[in-house]
A and B are shown apart, each in its own frame.
Chain A
Amino acid sequence: MLARIRARYDRTPEAERDARQAVAERLAGHRRGTIPQRIDLDSAGLLALFVDKAQSVDATVDRVAADRDVPGAVARYLRGLNLPAEAAIAPHADLDAMPWAASALSLERRRAQGSDRVGIARAFAGIAETGTLMMASGPDSPATLNFLPETHVVVIRESDIVGGYEDAWQRLRERGRGTGRDLPRTVNLITGTSRTGDIEQIIQKGVHGPKRLHIVLVRDGA
Chain B
Amino acid sequence: MELLSRDFKGDVAKALADPVLQTNLSRLKGNFLARRQKARESLPEFDTLRDEAKTIKDHTLAHLDLYLEAFEAQVKATGGEVHWARDAAEARVIVLAICRAERARTVTKGKSMIAEEIGLNHFLEAHGIEPVETDLGEYIIQLAHEPPSHIIAPAIHKNREQVAELFARYHPHLNGRKLEDIDDMLADARKVLRERFLKADVGITGANFMIAQTGQTVIVTNEGNGDLTQLLPRVHVAIASIEKLVPTLEDATTILRVLARSGTGQEMSSYTTFSAGGRRAGETDGPEAFHVVILDGGRSAMLGTEVQDMLRCIRCGCCLNACPVYGKLGGHAYGSTYSGPMGSVLTPALAGLEGAKHLPFASTLCGRCEEVCPMRIPIPRMLRHWREEETRRAMTPPAARWGLGLWGAVASRPRLYRRLARLGIGLLGRLGRRRGRFANLPLAGGWTEGRELPAPEGRTFQDLWQAGKRP
Contact = CB atoms under 8 A, between A and B. Distances in A.
A–B proximity contact (CB within 8 A): yes
A137 interface: yes
A38 B216 CA distance: 28
A169 B70 contact: no
B41 interface: no
B429 to A, nearest CB: 49
A57 B31 CA distance: 17
Interface in A23-37: 23, 26-27, 29-37
A100 B227 CA distance: 29
Given A27-B70, A33-B253, A33-B254, A208 B45 contact: no
B273 interface: yes
Nearest to B134: A208
Contacts of A22: 59, 63
A151 interface: no
A19 B66 CA distance: 8
Nearest to A135: B273
Contacts of B249: 30, 169
A31 B213 CA distance: 12
A194 B224 contact: yes
A110 B160 CA distance: 39
B70 A147 contact: no
Contacts of B254: 32-34
B109 to A, nearest CB: 13
Contact of B223 (A57, A143, A195): A195
B246 to A, nearest CB: 10
B224 A199 contact: no
Contacts of A37: 44-45
A183 B276 CA distance: 8
A146 B272 CA distance: 12
Contacts of A189: 268, 271-274
B286 A23 contact: no
Interface string B30-54: 0110000000000111001100100
B224 A9 contact: no
Contact of B65 (A9, A31, A33): A9
A208 B196 CA distance: 12
Nearest to B187: A206
A5 interface: yes
B213 A27 contact: yes
Nearest to A28: B213
B156 A201 contact: yes
A1 to B, nearest CB: 4
B155 interface: yes
Contact of A144 (B231, B248, B294): B231
Contacts of B303: 5, 8-9
B250 A199 contact: no
Contacts of B270: 57, 190-195, 209
A14 interface: no
B242 A209 contact: no
Contacts of A198: 135-137, 140, 153-155
A186 B271 contact: no
Interface string B191-231: 00110011000000000000011101000001111011001
Given A196-B222, A209-B224, A36 B45 contact: yes
A208 B284 contact: no
Contacts of A142: 283-286
A100 to B, nearest CB: 19
Given A5-B296, A189-B271, A110 B31 contact: no
| Interface class of chain A by DSSP | loop
B232 interface: yes
Contacts of B440: none
Contacts of A146: 227
Interface string A157-200: 00000000110010000000000011111111111111111111
A139 interface: yes
Contacts of B135: 198
Nearest to A164: B253
Nearest to A205: B186
B396 interface: no
A209 B227 contact: yes
B24 A5 contact: no
B471 interface: no
Contact of A31 (B66, B250, B272): B250
B343 to A, nearest CB: 20
A181 B249 CA distance: 15
B232 A36 contact: no
B280 interface: yes
Interface string B251-279: 10110110000001011111111111111
B182 A147 contact: no
B21 interface: no
Given A36-B45, A147-B227, A194-B223, A199 B63 contact: no
B190 interface: yes
B65 A201 contact: no
B227 A188 contact: yes
A122 to B, nearest CB: 15
Contacts of B242: 5
A213 to B, nearest CB: 9
Interface in A15-59: 19-20, 22-23, 26-27, 29-38, 53, 57
A222 interface: no
Interface in B94-150: 134-137, 140
Given A142-B285, A208-B193, A181 B280 contact: yes
A201 B31 CA distance: 8
Given A23-B70, A37-B45, A192-B270, 13 more contacts: A1-B84, A2-B65, A23-B63, A27-B212, A32-B253, A33-B52, A146-B227, A187-B273, A199-B155, A199-B163, A200-B27, A204-B182, A209-B271
Closest 5 CB pairs of A and B: A209-B224, A139-B282, A33-B254, A198-B137, A6-B65
Interface of A: 1-2, 4-6, 8-9, 19-20, 22-23, 26-27, 29-38, 53, 57, 110-112, 114, 130, 132, 137-139, 142-144, 146-148, 165-166, 169, 181-202, 204, 206-210
12 contacts: A1-B294, A2-B69, A6-B65, A19-B66, A33-B250, A114-B197, A139-B280, A165-B256, A197-B153, A199-B163, A207-B190, A209-B225
